[in-house]
Structure 1
Amino acid sequence: MKKSSLSSHISGHQCSARFSSGQIAFWTLLLILASEILIVGLMCATPPISRDALIYHLAVPKLWLKHGGMYEIGQSFAYSPMNVNLLYLLCLSFGSDILPKFIHHFFGLATGFLIYKYLKDEKMGTNWALLGSLLFLSTPIVSRLSSEAYIDLGLTFFITLAVFAISRWRRCKCSQTRWLTISAVAAGLALGTDYSALISFVFLTLIVIYYYAKDRREPTKAVGYGICFAAIALLLFSPWCIRNYIWTSNPIYPHYNSFFNPHPLPSNPANIQGSGISGFFRQRELAYGESFWEVLAIPIRFFFQGRDNSEQFFAGRLNPILILA
């Protein structure tokens, strides 16, 4: 009896220890996460001084406000889609150039929350879900961007939401079109935030077709779902394309302008800078003396050579741990 009582006591003590360690990990992660959010929040409360915010993300909406509406400014960056910038325009209309920084910070927090929810859905546990969210939010470039009036975290949030919604859609065997619609809307909002979302949009459309064909064994319907997904996303993206086409005859100006405008005017910024893939390689060679292979290695160099406030070195560094993701 004594041995049995002793073993029960030891077993209970071990369970208590495991519970305590889990609780300690939970509160530690929560404290670090709260500290990260607070520090970035304090940085958001300072006036914007970053270059891109002052000459683009806040400057263009400010010019539109002064003009009384949207008009063609003539700078190549002003032709980009501007969903997030429209939120900044609303803030500027109330006389605040600090609130846009908090909006961008919110997009980062919302992305962290989606990561947390996804990991919880995958039965990873609260602590692992918190750790995943913390790893994202504490990545140096994310911390830096969170305190700036940029669009990058808005784009990240919309793409993450699109992926998250597709995962939920597949979890219910592709039967709840509500999640597919949410994903398509998020993809469309991402397209309306930056042209770079076009890559994600193509992959997401293919994923929708693949998942439906695999899970439901109906390839024809799968293509139909993919078309519907793409149609919703492109519909939300279309206002910016229509605007650019009216102004420049190129819906995604200044990209691929040589295709849409074979004989551009000499004053056209795209004609000077070059467009498309070859133009990008040429720009890096002329500006920084980088070889073809150095430019090709940028996705890897980003993790090791990135420097804050350096255009040559990508204006920031990603956490090398993310290479393993």
Structure 2
Amino acid sequence: MQNTKPGKVLAPLALLIVVASLVGYAVSHKPFEATELLSLLTALFRVGVAAIVILLAGGLGKKFRRRDEMSLSLAARDAGVGLGIMGLVVFLLGFTIGFNLWILLTPIVIGFILLRCEIASFARAWKEAGTFFKEMDLGIGLIAAFTLVILAANLIIALSPPTSFDGLTYHLTLPKYYLFEGRIDFVPELMYWGMPQLSEMAFTLAMKFGGAEAAATLQWMVGVVALTAIFSFVQQTLNKNSAWVAVASLLCGWTLSDALSRAYVEWSLVLYGALFLIQLNQWRATRSRADLIWSAIFAGFALSTKYMGGILVVAGIVVIFFDQFPVIARRAISPTKQSPLPRDGLLREKRPRNDGIKNAFLFGLIASLILSPWLIKNYLATGNPFYPILFPAGAMDATRLDFYEGTPIALTPIERILLPALASFRGLEGGAPFNASLGPLLFALSLTAPLAWTRLEPRQKQVATTALIVLVTGFVLWMVGSAATRLLIQPRLYLVFFPVWAILAAYGFFGLEGSNLPKFKISWLVSMLAAFSLGLNAYETGMDLLRRDALKFVTGQMDEGAYLAQSMGHFSPAMDSIRSLPRDSKVLLLWETRGYYCIPTCNPDETIDEFKDALVLHGSADSILVSWREQGYTHILLHNRGADFVREDDLLRYVPEDWIVFDALVASLKEIETFGAAYTLYELPHQP
């Protein structure tokens, strides 16, 4: 039926009437205030900033990997490559010519123009994620639903002002220093300056355009990419149900799920750990030198994110030598008449004796080269390539180094061997000694992985053996590290091999699927139990969202000051008071590590050692005051509760005489303002 002339005239008029009616209704009824609209648009802008970084990383990775085909699994790998390259580029810019708005914006614009086809291909690959949610039974469906709840809640929290401990101590504080100075210079106030900072470089980029909230949102997106990489790999190796269980095993623990909303580097480590395993396993299957190199690159990126990422370098070399021995080296192939498989479905293949040495050397060399910019930076600034660890240098003297490392936790040999179990069942977020909540699924389901062995194809067995070698290597290094220093008992420092642990947990579920009874599906019950565990964490995450009132902030119903006051108590007004001091003021924080909201006016006590270090160097209250005045300090912010806790708890490093000096020191200061019982701001007395 053809349109008549009156219809052609009246249709636009009718549309105009409808639009005008909607506008008129909205003007009189006002669905939201101007401040609410501005807050929502700001949140969307910050999501956009993080998405631009991820898209550019994906396009850059695809360009470097030179692959025409594209799947979601490959897209995750491309994003990992691109994020690593971008981090190194930002570091080199900041360390050499410095960076301002145009120095950072120009490469982004040029990158989007030159890589527009690769970026479009990377974006299209994410359509595949829709297939993850098809054809699920009740247990797996609940796991998927609870995963979305955890992701959504953490995204909202990420879009709120940062309150996380490590973020305010260094993950966000260092980028804020760099942006304030316009370049990357030595920051003696923070010994964490010497740590590898690949992820913090991406945070610096995001913070320049979208603030700290954009950096936290970027890490949330990195977490999504990491989960996608693990899911896709497990789905291709086993099946979709097992892939969802792998995701659940990671997210059922508070430490990792909560890290999605923090500007931490945990999910960057998980991403590089997963990509390392995927490429290393592919090398074992193809013997392609390129796959080995890419695996080493991902290990190098992990090492450039945190020194503990070096676990992957050690594990990679162990796998290479395992693959070398003719009796145990295994390579999954399809049986043929010319080369039938042995009964176990794997081919024992003799390799040239020196191949293992060459491959191990190449692997270690590539990972070391990727780390080298951070070592060079440290050497030029302090003379210690591994600053702030190993030996005193720069602002890290022997006293501070001892404080940072701490005395190892006393464990029996059996307890040390059982560290993964102890950390899984006794570990609590914020509770000594593990300071992490891992959830029950990683440990429980990985123990059932042997049930899957008889139903595995050769390629699946190869993945399992590779993952097992990496996991055992990680566990051994965990045990050794825990015996060396107090700090190295914490599971969060070993998250780089947790994706491997999750993959073996998926194998455990896959084995249970093959153990179903005729009238009873054990795997269904286990999936329901996994969903229950994940659901508990989803509930806890939702309650955390409500307690924080993060949604009120994102929707403009609460401003930043009110949000921080509610979330951080007396810490927030203490920071406000420091920022209101005269411009030439310099404040030393005692027993308070979090300096994000008061730098550059303040110097945080990042390793809780400022007083003890000053006491060892100067001996008396008067000498300490003279030293602090010479360093330019005008005020002291004392965290009273922190000092009281150390006074009562740390009887190993402090003696009663130390506190006599401390009390005399405080008595000589002029009290300016108190913030409940938590903080007191003092002014240093003028030079007599």
TM-score class normalised by the smaller sequence: 0.7 to 0.9
Structure 1 residue 86: deviation in Å?
0.3
Look up the SS of the partner of 2:211 in the other structure: coil
Distance 1:117 1:270, change over 3 A: farther
Q: Which has the larger radius of gyration?
A: 2
Report the equivalent of 1:242: 376
| Distance in 1 between residues matched to 2:135 and 2:365, nearest whole Å | 50
CA distance, structure 2, for counterparts of residue 280 and residue 298 of structure 1: 19
Q: Is 1:304 aligned with 2:431?
A: no
The residue number in structure 1 matching 2:436 is: 316
Give the alignment partner of residue 193 of structure 1, picking from 283, 305, 308: 305
Structure 2 partner of 1:208: 320
Q: Secondary structure at the match of 2:354?
A: helix
AA aligned to 1:255 is I
Partner in structure 1 of residue 204 of structure 2: 89
For 2:400, the equivalent position in structure 1 comes to 273
Offset of residue 96 of structure 1 = 1.5
State the partner residue of 1:4.
none
CA distance in 2, matches of 1:30, 1:153: 19
For residues 324 and 215 of structure 2, what CA distance do their matches in structure 1 show? 39
CA contact 1:170–1:211 (8 Å) conserved in 2 = yes
Alpha-carbon shift at residue 64 of structure 1 (Å): 1.2
Question: Counterpart in 1 of 2:160?
Answer: 46
* Alignment partners' CA distance in 2, 1:230 and 1:139: 32
Measured in 2, the distance between the counterparts of 1:31 and 1:309 equals: 28
Deviations 1:159-191 (A, max 9, x none): 22111211122123x2x2332222111111011
Deviation (angstroms), 1:24: 4.6
Distance 1:300 1:269, change over 3 A: farther
**Match for residue 365 of structure 2?**
231
Q: How far 1:71 moved relative to its partner?
A: 1.0
Q: Does residue 104 of the first structure (1) align with residue 214 of the second (2)?
A: no
AA aligned opposite 1:63: Y
* Aligned pair partner of 1:113 in 217, 228, 238: 228
Deviations 1:132-155 (A, max 9, x none): 122223322111111100011111
The CA RMSD measured in Å over matched residues stands at 2.7
Displacement after TM superposition at 1:113 (Å) = 1.9
Instruction: Indicate the residue corresponding to 2:568 in structure 1.
Output: none
- Residue 293 (structure 1) shift: 4.6
Distance 1:28 1:63, change over 3 A: same
* Structure 2 counterpart of 1:252, from 374, 386, 392: 386
The corresponding residue for 1:178 is: 290
Corresponding residue pairs, total = 287
CA deviation string 1:45-73 (max 9, x = no partner): 22110121112001111111111211111
Could you tell me which residue of structure 2 aligns to residue 287 of structure 1?
A: none
Q: Is 1:81–1:194's contact at 8 Å kept on the other side of the alignment? A: yes
Q: Distance in 2 between the 1:212 and 1:291 partners? A: 38
Q: CA deviation at 1:118?
A: 2.6
What residue number does 2:68 align with?
none
Provide closer, same or farther for how the CA distance between residues 138 and 321 of structure 1 changes in structure 2, counting only shifts above 3 A. closer
Distance 1:21 1:85, change over 3 A: closer
Q: Distance in 2 between matches of 1:206 and 1:191?
A: 17
Deviates more, 1:76-85 or 1:90-99: 90-99
Q: 1:69 to 1:298 in 2, by over 3 A?
A: farther
Cα distance per residue 1:61-91 (max 9 Å; x no partner): 1111111211111122111000000000001
CA distance in 1, matches of 2:138, 2:421: 36
Q: Say whether residues 1:143 and 2:257 are aligned partners.
A: yes
Match of 2:356 among 193, 210, 222: 222
Shift of 1:129: 1.3
Identical aligned residues as a percent: 22
Cα separation, partners in 2 of 1:138 and 1:101, compared to 1, 3 Å: farther
Matched-pair contact (CA < 8 Å) for 1:192–1:240? yes
What CA distance in whole angstroms lies between the structure 2 residues aligned with 1:25 and 1:165?
Answer: 31
CA contact (8 A) 1:255 1:270 kept: no
2:292 and 2:242 map into 1 onto residues whose CA distance is 27
d(CA) in 2 for partners of 1:253, 1:293 = 31
Amino acid aligned to 2:301:
L
Give TM-score, length-normalised by structure 2. 0.39
CA contact (8 A) 2:249 2:439 kept: no
Report the alpha carbon displacement of residue 268 of structure 1 after superposing the two structures with TM: 4.3
Cα distance in structure 2, aligned partners of 1:86 and 1:79: 14
Question: Hey, what's the Cα distance between the residues in 2 that align with 1:88 and 1:38?
Answer: 21
Distance 1:161 1:66 in 2: 34
1:319 partner amino acid? G
Q: Determine helix, strand or coil for the equivalent of 1:308.
A: coil
Q: Secondary structure at the match of 1:64?
A: helix
Match of 1:132 among 240, 246, 260: 246
The answer for unaligned runs of 5 or more in structure 1 is 1-19, 258-263, 285-289
Rounded Cα–Cα distance in structure 2 between residues aligned with 1:225 and 1:291: 38
Q: Deviation string for 1:9-31 (max 9, x for gaps)?
A: xxxxxxxxxxx985555544432
Considering fraction of residues, name the structure with more helix.
Answer: 1
Residue identity matched to 1:129: A
2:281 match: 167
Residue type of the alignment partner of 1:46: S
1:208/1:225 contact within 8 Å kept: yes
The 1-side partners of 2:193 and 2:300 are apart by 19
Deviates more, 1:313-322 or 1:148-157: 313-322
Change (3 A) 1:22 1:317: closer
Pair 87,196 (structure 1): closer, same or farther in 2 beyond 3 Å? same
Structure 1 residue 226: Cα displacement:
1.5
- Following TM superposition, by how much is the alpha carbon of 1:109 offset from its aligned partner in structure 2, in angstroms? 2.1
Secondary structure of the equivalent of 1:199? helix
Q: Which amino acid aligns with 2:317?
A: T
